[in-house]
Amino acid sequence: MACGFLIWTCVAFAKPQPQAYAVSSAHALATETGLSILAQGGNAYDAAVAVSAALAVVEPASSGIGGGGFWLLHSHDDQLSVMVDGREVAPGKAHRDMYLDESGAVDRDLAVNGGLAAGIPGAPAAWDHIAQKYGSLPLAVLLDPAIQLAEQGFPADEKYVTLLAMREGVMNRWPETAAIFMPSGEVPQVGDLIVQPDLAKTLRALADHGRDGFYKGDVAEKLVAGTQAAGGIWTLDDLARYEVKERQPITTEYKGYELITAPPPSSGGIALAQMLNILEAYDLSGMSSVERIHVISEAMRRAYRDRALYLGDTDFVDVPVDLLLSKDYAAGLRTHLRIDRATPSASLANDPTVWPEGDNTTHFSLIDAEGNMVSATLTVNLPYGAAYAPPGTGVLLNNEMDDFSAKAGEPNAYGLVGFSANAIEPYKRMLSSMTPTIVRSDERVAVLGTPGGSRIITMVLLGLLDFIDGNGPMSWVSVPRFHHQYLPDSISIEPDSLSPETIDGLEALGHQVQERNRTWGNMHGVMWDISTNTMQAAHDPRWSSGGAEVVETVER
């Protein structure tokens, strides 16, 4: 990696070498895949491609070859970071009002189910790009473990089954898709084998021909025909012209730590930086739990308001990035943040709504023995994406188009509102909340991220605050979660996560507190403690399927 390369962010740090490597992902089989690539001498970027492809097979509810994502790469040798943007784009025939019915209302079914809901996938192009530009092993070697898993099958786990039960009805509209994921005709039992021969063939085409194996030729033709047969508007040209983008990460500084995180078209990095800029004026650790949750929620509220108003794909719209990231702007936002009173969102603007819990999408974190890191969050959006796989491809389509604002001010599946900055346009990338992040000082480095739709950014905030408080990854991934997203105007909390006294205290300040009936998120973190030269990895205890492991390369 050349330091002269414009897109990379240069940071000066001393360069100790770890004597271990570590992978944490949402599936033990994907973690094993990453570890085996590292064991055979692959670097972090090789491992990232192999883990992404393995997750595409064994965690189809969350991410896949028919979806997209953001891969934040950090090279230890040159201290450079880049975000590989493999986000989906709107097809060429997409237009602003494509999900509105005759009365002007959003047709939610069209927005999330079947062919019209799918953006042009970015994941396969990103794997190819990362392998060619940063990897050290051939793409075919990196995809081989995923091909084996698709051909030989893997046992359905609790997450596969739970999330499929939520999408069963929709998937049954397309019997050929249902036959892949429900081979017995119904939602499988935990332990049932899921074999995906068509997906294996598509992965092989990618392994043999690079991105052209997916975006051109036989696979592309089947994808276009199948998508159109299910109400979609994809063309061969849409696939052929898909481009991966390399973006300069958002960086900010918080209490002596440097944060490296996701730039647009994710909203995550900007929102995270804004929240931290607001919070840096407070002594959070000296506060009562009511005060602390109040102040953090007020920072969340303000960042999510700006997300709704200003953020979108910077290749298409002007986003005031420098302003939003400035410490002065945060100081302005603090002027109306009262320590003794909630600020009603209505005094900042608009309507409340509902959003579902989220733990599909996937995140993995890894560090290789040279200290290179990858923090990657990948998605097909809702569980099992659009619930449709074009026949003969095994490619489950994403329903990422719902991350656009289908109508100004109208909530999407996560209750997120948006306006013209995130309106649909041909080839535009839909705004994301995915926030793969690296937080570092001279002494400690954290690699972390999570799925969870609109709640991703607030989970990463709580996780990194816990890291900065001195804790390790098992603690960050476990911290009880609370969330405010401007609209609806309430603090959402995990079941039994706050005492009745704390809830009373927040309500007395004017907050509405909503205890959800389930937890959310699936955070995967790795930490390298440079001062002791030790590594730790942890997966979210909320799901049993995750795998987190550290392998020592020298005897201590």
Q: Which residues are catalytic?
A: 361
Residue span binding ligand DON (CB under 6 A) among the ranges 148-156, 426-434, 436-444, 495-503: 426-434
What is the DSSP secondary-structure string of 92-123? TT--TTTTB-TTS-B-HHHHHSSGGGPPBP-H
**Residue 433 lies near ligand DON (rule: CB under 6 A):** yes
**Residue 59 lies near ligand DON (rule: CB under 6 A):** no
Judged by CB under 6 A, which of 358, 394, 546, 547 binds ligand DON? 358
CA distance 346 to 342: 11
Q: Name the residue nearer to ligand DON (CB basis): 389 or 434.
A: 434
> HSE (CB half, 13 Å, CA atoms) of 278?
27
Residue with the closest Cβ to ligand DON?
A: 358
CA distance 530 to 444: 5
């940071």: which residue's tokens?
A: 11
Contact yes or no for 100/388 (Cβ under 8 A): no
C-beta neighbour count of 381 within 10 angstroms: 32
Q: By CB under 6 A, what part of segment 187-206 binds ligand DON?
A: none
**CB of 359: closest distance to ligand DON in angstroms?**
5
Q: Name the residue nearer to ligand DON (CB basis): 297 or 379.
A: 379
Q: Name the residue nearer to ligand DON (CB basis): 362 or 502.
A: 362
**CB of 481: closest distance to ligand DON in angstroms?**
13
Alpha carbon dihedral 112, 114, 118, 120, in 10-degree steps, equals 170
**CB of 38: closest distance to ligand DON in angstroms?**
27
**Strand 513-515 with 491-493, pairing:** parallel
**CB of 86: closest distance to ligand DON in angstroms?**
12
Q: By CB under 6 A, what part of segment 359-418 binds ligand DON?
A: 359-361, 379, 381, 400, 403
Angle of CA points 256, 259, 262, to nearest 5°: 170
**CB of 403: closest distance to ligand DON in angstroms?**
5
CA distance 225 to 232: 9
Element holding 182 (H helix, E strand) = none
CA distance 41 to 167: 40
**CB of 218: closest distance to ligand DON in angstroms?**
29
């995923």: which residue's tokens?
A: 146
Judged by CB under 6 A, which of 116, 143, 330, 434 binds ligand DON? 434
**Residue 313 lies near ligand DON (rule: CB under 6 A):** no
* E-only strand ranges, 113-201: 154-155, 193-194
Q: How far is CA 539 from the centre of its chain?
A: 15
Contact yes or no for 49/139 (Cβ under 8 A): yes
Judged by CB under 6 A, which of 47, 367, 456, 530 binds ligand DON? 456
Q: Name the residue nearer to ligand DON (CB basis): 127 or 355.
A: 355
**Residue 452 lies near ligand DON (rule: CB under 6 A):** yes
Q: Name the residue nearer to ligand DON (CB basis): 432 or 545.
A: 432
Q: Interface residues with ligand DON (CB under 6 A)?
A: 358-361, 379, 381, 400, 403, 432-434, 451-453, 456
